[in-house]
Amino acid sequence: MSWEIAATRDMIRDEASVVKRLTEELGLGKAEAEAYLEAIEQGVARGDHETIRSLLGRGMLIASADEKGYLPVHPRLALSNLFRSYGDRTTPEMREKRKMVDKLTAELVLVYEKRKGLR
């Protein structure tokens, strides 16, 4: 599967860039970032137990009602949960990081809400 998927298909345009921002800017591991993106696109999380447990702990996944799988938390809340773990949000660096989080959130919300039929 190509990492660059046409935006007209309501998919993440540049998945490699999103993974990079989630890992380098927000501290997720690569496996965590990829598992969360897959969960957003497919509606269910897949990955090894450690990856799933980590995403659950970070507030990015929740157990499904039947407890047979894990569902992605809405990107607005999931990314906010990650960002909230940072200390001082008043420095210029953190204000720039907040802008990046807002842009990343908007990109992921589109995919999440399209899959759920909200758009």
pLDDT tens per residue across span 36-59:
999 999 999 987 899 999 999 999
What the block records as the tokens of 28 is: 């997720």
5 pLDDT above the threshold of 80:
no
DSSP annotation of 33 reads H
Q: Provide the number of structural domains found in the chain.
A: 1
Structural domain contains residue 98: yes
Structural domain contains residue 119: no
Structural domain contains residue 2: no
Q: Is 23 within 8 Å of 29 (Cβ atoms)?
A: yes
The domain in which residue 18 lies consists of 7-114
pLDDT more than 70, % of the chain: 86
pLDDT more than 90, % of the chain: 45
pTM of the entire predicted model: 0.70
3 pLDDT above the threshold of 70:
no
